Structure 1
Amino acid sequence: MRKLIRAEAGVKLKRINRTVAGKTKQICYRLTSTRKASGRVIFDASEAHRAFAREVAINLEGQACRGPSGRGATDH
């Protein structure tokens, strides 16, 4: 079962419960971003939340550098 935990600035963090015979066997977290081609799977909840915060900051910084038009400051 997948559950969206957080989403912001093009970044999503989902909790994945892997079950066998109706019992949760493993919990992991999937981090996806518009910045990266593929997502990351993280097994520690604290690390997943830290990675989410870092990725959001990177995406927001990139958006600020590109400006509202989506073009870089030196692109004309």
Structure 2
Amino acid sequence: MRVLYFAWLRERLGRDSDEIDPPASVATIADLIDWLAANDETFALATAKRELIRAARDEELVDHQTPLAGAKTIALFPPMTGG
């Protein structure tokens, strides 16, 4: 699975993506964020305010309780503004 990072999240992490293979216990976007934070201190600091992190599963906006099963790409980003 590929995880993409955008905007200030990408800047804080110093990378734009990761290729990962999370364990079966990582079943939702929230689980994924928790797992990534537990395994990467920089990620944990960048996502300390989880309510600010938005997500997309295979290019569709989703909430943190969305299942990961079958996902090829997860995108994580801060709130978007219009303009």
Q: TM-score range by the shorter chain?
A: under 0.3
* Greater RCO (CA < 8 Å, at least 6 residues apart): 2
- Normalised by the length of structure 1, the TM-score is 0.27
The structure where strand makes up a greater share of residues is 1
- Normalised by the length of structure 2, the TM-score is 0.26
Higher-Rg structure is 1
